[in-house]
Structure 1
């Protein structure tokens, strides 16, 4: 394979060249052989994903060397599976090969990981991943005609380059998702290269693919962050809420069976073990499709698809309709005389069943809100079950649930009022200031990204009938981006407290944060106020990036007036006077 310079912004530059090698028939049952064949036939793509995600700085030539080594390993084991090396886990073999590449561990500073073994080595590589990919070189651009010609001339190299680039720029996205994105780009390329107006075709068809990648990335990072920081129990609670809302007619016994497969898949996927992630994802989808009549009426077409599209289709499918016979309330948790006895018999199962029953009855609530309600109920029972008359105590549970939801609803309504009253630029500045005050340690690029994601969440949700769930779900994903995946990510004491104390209540926690008083800004210099000619020469996104570093303070003045923002003394200047670029010295206090 020859390296091919890739082109364009990630939304529409890469067009998948060669068809991903897919099984010739749908996987209707949990067929291990089909999954294994898929892995063997795609070992090159899987190797690229793992290497590029673990060692993001690695060049494509270095990736090619590893692909060759892993392909030879596959061929050797297919020829004689009894060889000792063939008994090792694929990821262990891959990491051993990465560490064996001459000079590479020293060059890219991961020798310390290579000195470890087994799970410790895998976790070391995981913690080596960088969410902020600003250190990577910008992607070059080609016009659509040139892209299509390259697609036709060198399909294999183009595909490998595409997977390499999207993998190192999305280090925490699961391998099946990246393979699906690649397959969708191929479909787009085949279509657009036959069109007269290729540029418009690529632009139109690439947008939903990139939005899908961004949404998948946010969700996967959020769930993996919950697993890394809070452990398996919180992960299982998230999955109970998601599955119960998505499949409201599923029986609790069937849910608990499915939950074992679903929760276990995150171990491999979150650790970056692409092979195990593919196997576990296949197992989950086979489970669902083998019992689709009792699980959902919305996934029949998905179950007829091939790997990996089948899994992504089920994940993206709409919620099933709530069974008509399902009452709005499950009285056994608030009216029964034996609630405390049932809880004490098996608290984990009892709380899971409560969350299941409440989630399947309330598709209008967000996942974080369902977890908050479960937390409120659990705390209430701790109190009530030690009183003389527990039933009288826990009968007020519904009122507690309503109070919790009302608080969350008011927060969402306030955010949507911001959306209604401000334009996109002012709204972005609003969140840029708000985030900078609570987390000034973050880079300008990361703060700007988070602010844009907040704006996207409100723009997407605030005109929908399901406004509450949409806003709360998406803004919780933004907080997941802020908190990060790795448990060793530290920003400042207050932010760390909100990120690590209680997953369900981290959004209310963030709402109560004030400016970080522990932050010491770097010393100022005259260079901060020197405006070079490149500011006038910059265009589009580059110009916007420069403007974000030196904000337009006129919109801020309007924000001060609209939202009763209390100005504070600037860093060495008069009240409200900007003396540093925003990410270094925020100069306004928002009254939350």
Structure 2
């Protein structure tokens, strides 16, 4: 690992662990790293860190915060600075953050932090973080625009890129993100000074493709891990592996899912430079050894030249279209209350995913939540059998037809062009509209738009879990109105 990277990771370690040990330790380590890195690198790193923490902030809010942090370090971390400088300046900083017109990133937790005093307030503010950004907003300019902007204002270009890119990939492991931004800016400096800019950018982008793929995939995976937690991430991967390869035995699918969630648990917040790369290499080998004999699509992916190529190929595979499986179980019962029966819920979800390979993951996660809740409520009851009967009828069984409809809707979306999908959706919706609607066309258009928004974002593997989870409620409430499938006679 390069010396510069070591210093950067030490600083990141300082920020996270210094918060736990108090202001003197925090001041000492921040000042030490500021003096090691120098103002420029400290400035750049502060942009990355704060853009990761506040991924929904504006660039002006990020730069106001960064400039204040750099000013604090510059003023209080030099030789001969007043011993109380850091404490006084950081106190003024936290007080300003609590002002209604503060120019810093907004966060709903700020109000709670601002009820605290002194160090407690500072630590509370420092611990705030926005949730992952599920829909990236950074759009890379053309080569000409990049170089024109860079030549006019190199520092401004770098600052804006670091802020926008880091906010989009805020949950990629830090070593991965830093490597990605460093190589990109190096490319810009090199190619914008070249007499053959187009050729230079093409060559550099081809070389950097594995780095960018790792950044994208690890950010997506770690975002899911953050949103769902370790156990539900395992369920998510179980659904993915099952829907991609429904012939894969449950025991193999759950083992691979558990391995995937363990990797994220180990590497998402890890500062080791190659943690995620090393773990993915082992994981890919296990996938290829386990699944290839049963799935020609994954077997083809496993012939790629490198591990990242294999992983990207497997990650990008769509659902299996032709499940050939027995009927899935319709409910869970009191037998699940025995010791060690958590695996029975996993098996139940896997069986449903195996039968409905194109049902949105968010619906299957909802089924898992309902099954888990029923287990928690019923297994301590004097009469668990009657409790499960009630829960099945009230919360679990009603989800079954919705999963069927979701599977059919996503199959329609996957198997047809978008124009044909819209046409079929409208045709199937017309006979089902409630009677007495005055503005039939407006009502139909609104329903079609709602369904289209849902399927375009949620009818594929690796769909954004938070957005699709929120949309499930809307999908459930309107499920009886738009039923895909055959055209009306």
| TM-score of the superposed pair, with normalisation by structure 1 | 0.40
Task: Choose between structure 1 and 2: higher helix proportion.
Answer: 2
With normalisation by structure 2, the TM-score equals 0.47
> Which structure's relative contact order is higher, taking Cα pairs within 8 Å and 6+ residues apart?
1
